[in-house]
Amino acid sequence: MAVILTDHIDPIEEFVPRQIDPKPFRRQDIDPAKIVVSYDRRSDTLLIHLFGRGHSTISVPVAKYLYVMVTPDTETIVGFHIEGFLAQAVNENPEAIALLDYAELRGITPAEVRALQGETLGIRSQGFPLLREAVETSVQEHRTQAIAAFIDAERSRWDLSVVPAIC
Partner 1 sequence: MGEGDVPLWVVRDRWDREIRLHEDIWYDHIVIGHRSLRDHEAAVARVLTNPYRVTHDALHDNRECYYRQRSHPRYPELFLKVCVEFESEYAGEVITAFLTPKVHSEEVQRWP
Beta strands in 87-161 (DSSP E): 103-106
Residue 49 CB partners (closer than 8 Å, separation 6+) = 35, 36, 37, 38, 55, 69, 78, 79
The answer to whether the beta carbons of residues 77 and 23 sit under 8 Å apart is yes
Q: For partner 1, which residue of 24, 31, 56, 167 counts as binding (CB under 8 A)?
A: 56
Q: For partner 1, which residue of 34, 76, 84, 114 counts as binding (CB under 8 A)?
A: 84
Beta strands in 36-76 (DSSP E): 36-40, 45-49, 58-61, 66-70
By C-beta, is 25 or 65 nearer to partner 1? 65
Least distance (Å) between residue 75 CB and partner 1: 10
Q: How would you class 94 by CB atoms within 10 Å of its CB: exposed for 0-12, middle for 13-18, buried for 19 or more?
A: middle
Q: How far apart are CA 64 and CA 14, in angstroms?
A: 25
Q: For partner 1, which residue of 25, 51, 67, 80 counts as binding (CB under 8 A)?
A: 67
By C-beta, is 27 or 64 nearer to partner 1? 64
Q: Per-residue x/- mask for partner 1, residues 112 to 131, rule CB under 8 A?
A: --------------------
Q: For partner 1, which residue of 81, 103, 144, 150 counts as binding (CB under 8 A)?
A: 81
3-state SS, residue 8? coil
Q: For partner 1, which residue of 23, 24, 33, 106 counts as binding (CB under 8 A)?
A: 106
Residues lying near partner 1 in the complex (CB under 8 A) are found at 1-3, 5-9, 11-13, 15-20, 38, 40, 42-43, 45, 47, 53-61, 64-65, 67, 72, 81, 83-84, 87-88, 106
